[in-house]
Amino acid sequence: MTKPPFKDLLFISIQMLLFVAYLLPITIEFLFVNLVVKYLFLGLAVLGFLVIILAIVQLDKNLTPFPSPKQKGSLINTGLYKFIRHPIYTGIIVCTISFGFYNQNIWRIGIGVFLWILFYFKSIYEEKMLSIKFSKYADYKLDTGRFFPFI
């Protein structure tokens, strides 16, 4: 096994720090009165979590924590990947931000937004690596959204 490139390690390190920050018992609450909307956000958080699990299952042996594709990996463009190029990132974004709203916690919402920003830049780098490895990746990008379908 070869050592991952520096950028891979940097992106993963920042991501792990943000995950740890999300789990810290810091609460910056705001007044959120509507109970129906609160539970709507809980439903979105659960949906985000399910997207993460399904995307991991669909990646199967291609799953890696690093943005660079596996040496013996293949391009997955079925299932969720038929509509979204980075459904794991999508699930994490939806889950963290929605759960922050459910908990009425500005800290968690902010960390979710920072994760979204990180995933944007990480996905740019990842897509450069995927374009080098897979000649059909450019066509795949034209038909799918980065994080959300049709966007």
Helices 87-102 + 35-59 axis angle, to 10: 160
The number of distinct structural domains making up the chain is: 1
| Domain-located, residue 151 | no
**Cβ neighbour number for residue 61 with a 10 Å cutoff:** 9
| Domain-located, residue 24 | no
| Domain-located, residue 48 | yes
| Domain-located, residue 27 | no
| Domain-located, residue 25 | no
SS3 76: coil
Contacts of 21 (CB under 8 A, 6+ apart): 111
Give this prediction's pTM.
Answer: 0.95
pLDDT tens-digit readout, 16-57: 999 999 999 998 887 776 899 999 999 999 999 999 999 999
Tokens, residue 145: 């959204």
Range of the domain at 56: 32-65+73-143
| Domain-located, residue 132 | yes
pLDDT tens-digit readout, 54-112: 999 999 999 999 999 999 999 999 999 999 999 999 999 999 999 999 999 999 999 99
| Domain-located, residue 84 | yes
Sign of CA dihedral 24, 27, 28, 29: positive
| Domain-located, residue 108 | yes
